[in-house]
Amino acid sequence: MIDRRSSPAFLVLSAALLLPWGAASAQGVDEAAATALMKKSGCLKCHAVSAKKDGPSFQETAAKFKGKADAEQKLRAFITTSPKIKVDGKEEEHEALKSKEDAAIKNVVQYILTR
């Protein structure tokens, strides 16, 4: 009798199905908490996961920082320091994330970088 669970096709399919879950788990991203904090902070008024709004999408931001050793540090500084940005040609202050909790900030940074 042949055990189909040990067939190469079954193993490849199993790995493919588990890959997205494993990547998110490896990063330790709590998507619900990140989304809740970004909503509370007003981030989702100007940003979305894949669509460009007044600000870049999280996918654009993740692509911009991909492969850069200082990505986490730079994104963290940006979302916590209220830098000046240009929106429709006018300069305004980018609002900071409404949390001082290190773990919550890191979670949001990881959420954005893993989109």
- Give the CATH number of the domain where residue 33 resides: 1.10.760.10
Considering the domain boundaries, does residue 16 fall inside one?
A: no
Burial track 15-46 (b if 16+ CB lie within 10 A, e otherwise): eeeeeeeeeeeeeebbeeebeebbeebebeee
pLDDT tier at 62, thresholds 50, 70, 90? very high
Considering the domain boundaries, does residue 17 fall inside one?
A: no
Considering the domain boundaries, does residue 11 fall inside one?
A: no
Considering the domain boundaries, does residue 88 fall inside one?
A: yes
Total-model pTM:
0.74
pLDDT tier at 6, thresholds 50, 70, 90? low
Residue 72 has what pLDDT?
97
Residue 16 has what pLDDT?
45
Provide the domain limits for residue 59: 29-113
Number of domains within the chain: 1
Residue 15 has what pLDDT?
46
Considering the domain boundaries, does residue 77 fall inside one?
A: yes
Considering the domain boundaries, does residue 83 fall inside one?
A: yes
Residue 66 has what pLDDT?
96
